[in-house]
Amino acid sequence: MKLISLSEKFIIYVTEQTILISLTSLIASIFHIKDAFLGFFLAYKIDFIPGFLHIFDTNYGLYNLLILFLISFCYYSIESLTGHGIAEDIFKLEIINKYEISKNKLLKLLLVRDIIKSFFISNIINSLFILKNKKFLQNEYDNKFNLMSIKNKNENKKSLFLQYFYSSMIMYYSIFFILIIIYTFVQPAAPLASSGTVKSGSYNYWHFFSTILKNNITLDVFEYMIGGFSLFTGTFIELFSSNIYEAIIMSSLDITHGSSSFVKYILPQFFPETLGYVFGLSIALVMTDIILSFTQSMIRNEKSQYFTQRTHDLLYSSGFYLILSISLLVIGALIEAGLGIYNF
């Protein structure tokens, strides 16, 4: 039996919350409720504290929290009933009881656990007890009812590499495509004033390429990757805020010039560029994992062997992430410069 690590618990939760917050924004938009979460992500650089407090001290913010709770409970309940979800299918997580109990009783315990997990404040408070129940890394509810989070398959370097890649891909594309739906069909963005193409007289391929690449690497390295040092908080916020702008611009382009403009000007470089960002997110997850692995070693008074081996495996994966991220951004910039359009 192998316990799931503290860092994996955290990364699973962040990945799930990315999808659930995105869906909350979509449902709020459909019902014409102001998007409290998207409003915060847009204003966070100039209005961090007031923007965050508006989620809790305004009617529309409370509606968003209620929607998030209901969606979260539905997701976690389906996960408990079917045994399939991000935790089970990517990280091979399994929840068991230390003693022999009936399947129905276990399911009832899991559904109550899902309610606690569905409201992030109760989940945070519950999870803080890991510092107390450090032997099995249990939160308070799990400790009280003898529930344990284990891996049902052995982990290796290959699965670790793919786990963080899959998590990053889910986070990036779930946010992006849900935002595209919002700003194209639910709350259409304003049409663009121009097509975004460069005038032929001012066009210099290599100058344009270097400008695009610099912008993309700045976002990838200094916003996504470095955000891992903040336990992914900075990355998480920037992931939403940057994708909001991207989605608005692409939706505006589609509204102004039709879907053919997306196929002609955006699609050729879309997947190389966005996959470059996905691997940048994976590096942020590695940084977060290293910090939490060190924390786990401290609270459990473990020898340095676990942390050293974990860090070795993580850095091994992050080296490939970095090479792939930069290479894909270079390819994306080469294609985009060749099309002669502004960097979206």
343 pLDDT band, cuts 50/70/90, is very low
Q: Please, what is the Cα angle at 78 between 73 and 79, to 5 degrees?
A: 95
Per-residue pLDDT at 118 exceeds 90? yes
163-189 pLDDT, tens digit per residue, is 999 999 999 999 999 999 999 999 998
Per-residue pLDDT at 23 exceeds 80? yes
Backbone angles phi, psi at 81, to 5 degrees: -75, -40
Mean of all residue pLDDT scores within the chain: 91
200 pLDDT band, cuts 50/70/90, is low
DSSP class of residue 97?
Answer: E
The least confident of 127-136, 154-163, 166-175 is 154-163
55 pLDDT band, cuts 50/70/90, is very high
Token output for 26:
């979509």
Whole-number Å distance between alpha carbons of 41 and 55 = 11
Whole-number Å distance between alpha carbons of 30 and 24 = 10
Q: Which of 171, 163, 167, 288 is nearest to 228 (CA)?
A: 288
SS3 291: helix
Per cent of the chain over pLDDT 90 is: 75
Mean pLDDT of 181-201: 74
| Burial status of residue 133 (CB atoms within 10 A of its CB: 0-12, 13-18, 19 or more) | middle
The structure's pTM equals: 0.93
Whole-number Å distance between alpha carbons of 26 and 48 = 22
Per-residue pLDDT at 341 exceeds 70? no
Whole-number Å distance between alpha carbons of 104 and 119 = 24
At 344 the pLDDT is: 42
Q: Which stretches of 119-192 are DSSP H helices? A: 120-127, 140-144, 157-181
40 pLDDT band, cuts 50/70/90, is very high
Q: Please, what is the Cα angle at 60 between 72 and 173, to 5 degrees?
A: 45
Per-residue pLDDT at 151 exceeds 50? yes
CA distance readout (Å), 45 to 35, 60, 124, 141: 17, 21, 25, 36
